[in-house]
Amino acid sequence: MDYSDYDVLNVFCGPDGRHGNGLGVVREGADVPGRAQRQAFAGKLGFSETVFVDDPERGVIDIYTPTLRLPFAGHPCVGTAWLLDVPELVVPAGVVGARLDGEFSWIEARPEWAPPRTLRQFGSAAEVDALPVPPSGEWIYAWAWEDEAAGRIRARGFPGRDDGITEDEATGAAALLLTAHLDRALNIHQGRGSQILTAPQPEGLIEVGGRVRLSGPAD
């Protein structure tokens, strides 16, 4: 497969349109047909996640990190929902609701679909800013209140997978889990300048949203 046959998105960009977490999206998933091939391709691309679209009309997608296949992940779903402009996505974990609202792309998903994350609270945003990358072996979402009354949070995500991704710039699944844990809407500033918005919904669902920008096809 030609490496130019995929799109590159930045998901959860900041208000200035910068930052966000990189995402590779192969629109013609049939071009990379098997799990082993997809895993190898995702590893070569090196994004924190790569999506293979198996049915663009129904929103059926397959998500991979450089080393793992995921039943669900937040920033790939937010980005792909924006790219395909569909009302839902179908992932192995279930059906993910999707909508576009102005500059934001939103998904609706269940916390139990998210891969395990260790939510580690710190006393201040400055403490989170000063953290070194922790040893591998545990997915850590480090967070602190910037303004608890307003629901504003400072966060950083450390996958700990030994796959070359030492820090995730923006992490939808971890934000979803933190929202479920705190049971309130959040405005999360993660990484260098990314923004993630979340809100609890009826029936145990969590909505996660952010800005998406198309970087273009691979260089």
pLDDT tens figures, 103-116:
999 999 999 999 99
pLDDT tens figures, 134-166:
999 999 999 999 999 999 999 999 999 888 899
pLDDT tens figures, 80-98:
999 999 999 999 999 999 9
What structural domains does the chain harbor?
7-104+211-217 (3.10.310.10), 113-207 (3.10.310.10)
β-sheet bridge partners, residue 121? 143
Q: Tell me the CA end-to-end span of the chain in Å, nearest whole number.
A: 15
* 66 burial type by CB count under 10 A (0-12 exposed, 13-18 middle, 19+ buried): buried
pLDDT exceeds 70 at position 219: no
pLDDT exceeds 50 at position 11: yes
- In this prediction, residue 28 has a pLDDT band, given cuts at 50, 70 and 90, of very high
In which residue are the tokens 């959860």 written?
Answer: 12
Give CA–CA dist 122/141, Å, rounded: 10
